[in-house]
Amino acid sequence: MQQIPFIYSNSTQWRLLRHLSFWLLWFLFQLLLYSFSPSPALQQQPFLHRLIITSPETLMYMIPSMFLAYTLMYLVIPKLVLPGRYLWAILSAALLVLITAALSAALSMTVIDYIRHLNADEISPIVAREPHPAFYVQFGVAMLAGLRGSITVGGVAAAIKLMKCFYERQQAALLLEKEKANAELQMLKAQLHPHFLFNTLNNIYSFTQEVSEKASGMIMGLSQLLRYILYDCSMPLVPLEKELKMIGDYFALESARYDQSLDISVQMPKATDHWISPLMLLPFVENAFKHGASQVTEHPWISLTVLVINDELSMKLINGKPVTSKNANPGIGITNVLKRLELLYPDRHELVINEEEEMYIVNLKIMLATVPADVVKTVYNGTRQEI
């Protein structure tokens, strides 16, 4: 649209130039029209003289024309036509045309009639002294003339405005379609990348089986962890059993970094039919490794206990604290999980985090989802099949 700024630019200078050009062309058109079909008093005058004499009349008739054009362009079209209120648009346009015709007739019978009589006194005193028709006849004829002129200028202005609006909407729709196509392309890329990642991990896993059983086990654990985060965690609820298995895999991956130096105690229910929002527990476990085990130089340890009693999940996570620990602010993972708890489990969770002299203690209680398992499973499995 910026390729034709005279038509489509909304800057002040281009808009002024656009409007001035339109009204200048309309003035010249009306001036030529009045000069080629002059009143009887001007028929014998030279064409150039007629142009000079009819110029004031033409300027006066521009007032009702501008009134109609701008009310249609900036009131009727944007407020009624574009929103689809067509009946009100038709009634409003008809009323404005009548008002414009009446305004034109009033100007014709007052100011313009006075100007014509001044010119008639100079050109033909006999014509100036001719009797006037009755008032209603004059007003009716002036109304008809005003209707003709108002419909013309109103139609031209409205047509230009509508063409511009529809073109801008078409361009906006094309831009939206382009952005949609780009978004779909990005989604396809996002879907391709995980497949490439998993295929690569599988290839590495097959090579490491013959070299290092420990390395191949770590790669398999990482693959399962990534698959859970990328696919299963897109659901609003996941089986608690899968969430706990993912935490167990995370413990296994982290433990491999410490050989036998990390003391881990993990107690979790083996089987449960409950459901939970995904990745609700992992940030706390990750924080225990980041600010606890990885910072403790001697005998790092972590204790995790998860219980489910009467639909209430209770998690107690304790980890050792480094001697030279600084009061660090909670990471973005903990901040996000706190917000998620407030949004997803309002008045249905309790979280207490204590910092003791030698340890961090996290106590979390969550009332788990009471949605029937078969209903959630249907939704869960259906969405997973689409993936």
pLDDT value for 191? 52
- Mean pLDDT, range 332-343, rounded to an integer: 80
Q: Give the residue from 166, 181, 196 where a domain finishes.
A: 181
**Helix residue ranges per DSSP H, 209-276:** 213-230, 240-255
* pLDDT at residue 386, rounded to an integer: 34
Structure tokens, 384: 């997973």
Tell me, yes or no, if the pTM score tops 0.75: no
The answer on 290 and 172 residing in a single domain is: no
For residues 311 and 349, the answer to whether their CB atoms sit within 8 Å is: no
What is the domain-level CATH number for residue 336? 3.30.565.10
Residues 10 and 125 in one domain: yes
Instruction: Judge whether residue 100 has pLDDT over 90.
Output: no
The residue range of the domain holding 330 is: 260-386
Tell me, yes or no, whether 20 and 157 share the same domain.
Answer: yes
Residues whose CB falls within 8 Å of the CB of residue 169, separated by 6 or more in sequence, listed in order:
none
Question: Between the CA of residue 90 and those of 77, 94, 96, 302, 387, what are the distances in Å?
Answer: 10, 6, 10, 76, 51
Domain count, the chain: 2
Give strand pairing partners of 189.
Answer: none
Last residue of one domain, picked from the residues 154, 181, 208: 181
Maximum mean pLDDT: which of 117-121, 290-294, 320-324: 320-324
Which of 69-83, 194-208, 265-279, 369-383 has the weakest average pLDDT? Answer: 369-383
HSE-CB for 278 with a 13 A CA cutoff = 16
Higher-confidence position of 199 and 233: 233
More confident of the two residues 377 and 19? 19
If you average pLDDT over every residue of the chain, what do you get? 76
Segment 6-24, tens digit of pLDDT: 776 777 888 888 889 888 9
Highest mean pLDDT among 123-127, 139-143, 239-243: 239-243
Higher pLDDT, 328 or 74: 74
Instruction: Pick the most confident of 40-49, 67-76, 160-169, 327-336.
Output: 67-76
Residues 177 and 271 in one domain: no
Q: What is the mean pLDDT of residues 42-62?
A: 74
What is the rounded radius of gyration, in angstroms, for the C-alpha atoms of the chain? 41
Say if CB 320 and CB 292 are below 8 A apart: yes
In terms of domains, do 171 and 290 share one?
A: no
Q: How confident is the model at residue 367 (pLDDT cuts 50, 70, 90)?
A: very high
Residue 248 has pLDDT above 80, yes or no: yes
Both 166 and 24 in one domain: the answer is yes
pLDDT at position 330 is 57
Is 111 a domain residue? Answer: yes
pLDDT at 328: 54
Q: How are beta strands 263-267 and 238-239 bridged, if at all?
A: unpaired
pLDDT at 327 > cutoff 70: no
Residue 166 and residue 34 share a domain: yes
Number of H helices and E strands in the chain, helices first, is: 12, 7
β 263-267/301-309 pair status: parallel
- Per-residue pLDDT for 2 more than 60? no
Q: Does 244 reside within a domain?
A: no
Residue 383 is predicted with a pLDDT of: 46
DSSP character string of 125-180 = HHHHTSPPPPHHHHHHHHHHHHHHHHHHHHHHHHHHHHHHHHHHHHHHHHHHHHHH
**What share of the chain has pLDDT > 90, as a percent?**
9
Are 176 and 264 contained in the same domain? no
* pLDDT band, very low/low/confident/very high, at 385 (cuts 50, 70, 90): very low
Give, for 239, the enclosing helix (H) or strand (E).
Answer: strand 238-239
At residue 37, the pLDDT reads 60
Give the separation between CA 282 and CA 123, rounded to whole angstroms: 99
Q: Say if residue 1's pLDDT is above 50.
A: no
Q: Is residue 195 part of a domain?
A: no
- Determine, yes or no, domain membership for 248: no
Judged against a pLDDT cut of 90, whether residue 56 lies above it is answered with: no
- Classify residue 231: in a domain, yes or no: no
Q: From 156, 181, 206, give the residue that closes a domain.
A: 181
Residue 307 predicted with pLDDT over 90: yes
pLDDT band at 305 (very low <50, low <70, confident <90, very high): very high
How confident is the model over 74-94, as a mean pLDDT? Answer: 89
Q: In this structure, how many other beta carbons lie within 10 angstroms of the beta carbon of residue 113? A: 15
Share of the chain above pLDDT 70, in %: 70
Inside any domain, residue 210: no
Instruction: Report how far residue 101's alpha carbon sits from residue 380's, in angstroms, rounded to the nearest whole number.
Output: 68
**169 and 275 co-located in one domain:** no
Lowest mean pLDDT among 111-125, 173-187, 268-282, 355-369: 111-125
360 contacts 318 by C-beta, under 8 angstroms: yes
In a domain, 314, yes or no: yes
Residues 19, 146, single domain; the answer is yes
Q: Are residue 169 and residue 20 in the same domain, yes or no?
A: yes
Task: Note whether residue 74 is domain-resident.
Answer: yes
> C-alpha angle with apex 193: 332 to 275, nearest 5 degrees?
55
